[in-house]
């Protein structure tokens, strides 16, 4: 069992949406981007590879250079073939408009479903998001399939009275995500058959 990691959303969600401005471009030229504060072990624990530069590090603390890691979809939409490393962006979601320096690029995750194009997402160090008050926190623990430790029980024991929601393994999260997509396809199929039946009756 590895050390638990923290974020404000799991890899199957993009997080809150933010309009991101790129330094050197017109103020109204923004990129609509998902936004997540995460800790230093988030990418490794969830097997999200860093493809350029670096990920979030323990040294990314409050008062240090403000940094951000973006995904490949963000790079494609905001920079195209340009090198994003070292470029500076600003967002307003965490309570300030101070420039953030892009230090790394991570692989895309399937936040819109297995068949959809990945959405742009940026990741901020939890320690540098002092102006952002998350309503909930995503806690992940990477371990073997036979692990017997109940993370929810451990969290309740550490902080009695703290609400714990949606306890699930990674496989269960993916399965539920797939079931939602399957349900939507079923609903669309039923409407299609109904329309066909009405057409035949007419």
Percent of the chain beyond pLDDT 70?
A: 52
Identify the residue with better confidence: 76 or 129.
Answer: 76
pLDDT of amino acid 100 = 93
pLDDT tens, 101-122?
999 999 998 766 666 688 899 9
Among all chains, which residue has been given the structure tokens 């306890």? 167
Q: What does the block give as tokens for 132?
A: 């952002």
* pLDDT higher than 60, residue 58: yes
Are 6 and 87 in contact by the 8 Å Cβ rule? The answer is: no
Give 140's pLDDT tier (boundaries 50, 70, 90). Answer: low
pLDDT of amino acid 194 = 46
* pLDDT higher than 50, residue 56: yes
Neighbour-count burial for 177-187, b at 16+ CB within 10 Å, e otherwise: beeeeeeeeee
Identify the residue with better confidence: 195 or 160.
Answer: 160
Identify the residue with better confidence: 23 or 174.
Answer: 23
Mean confidence (pLDDT) of the chain: 73
Give strand ranges (E) for the chain: 5-7, 17-22, 30-38, 50-53, 67-71, 88-90, 100-106, 121-125, 138-140
* pLDDT higher than 60, residue 9: no
Q: How far is CA 153 from CA 46, 137, 162, in A?
A: 21, 16, 11
Q: What does the block give as tokens for 143?
A: 């371990």
Among all chains, which residue has been given the structure tokens 């979601």? 93
pLDDT tens, 62-93?
889 999 999 999 999 999 999 999 999 998 65
Query: Is the model's pTM score more than 0.85?
Result: no
Identify the residue with better confidence: 112 or 148.
Answer: 112
């Amino acid at each position: 069992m590895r050390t638990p990691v923290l974020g404000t959303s799991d890899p199957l969600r993009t997080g809150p949406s933010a309009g991101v401005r790129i330094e050197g471009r017109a103020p109204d030229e923004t990129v609509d981007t998902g936004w997540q504060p995460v800790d230093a072990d988030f990418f490794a624990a969830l097997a999200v590879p860093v493809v350029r530069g670096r990920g979030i590090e323990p040294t990314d603390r409050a008062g240090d250079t403000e940094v951000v890691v973006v995904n490949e979809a963000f790079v494609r939409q905001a920079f195209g073939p340009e090198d994003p490393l070292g470029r500076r962006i600003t967002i307003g979601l965490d309570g300030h408009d101070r420039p953030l320096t892009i230090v790394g690029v991570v692989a895309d995750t399937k936040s819109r479903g297995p068949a959809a194009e990945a959405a742009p997402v940026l990741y901020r160090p939890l320690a540098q998001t002092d102006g952002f008050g998350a309503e909930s926190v995503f806690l992940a623990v990477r371990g073997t399939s036979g692990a017997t430790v109940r993370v929810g029980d451990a969290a309740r024991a550490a902080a009695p009275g703290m609400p714990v929601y949606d306890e699930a393994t990674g496989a269960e999260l993916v399965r539920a995500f797939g079931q939602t997509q399957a349900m939507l396809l079923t609903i669309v199929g039923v409407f299609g058959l109904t329309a066909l039946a009405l057409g035949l009756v007419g």
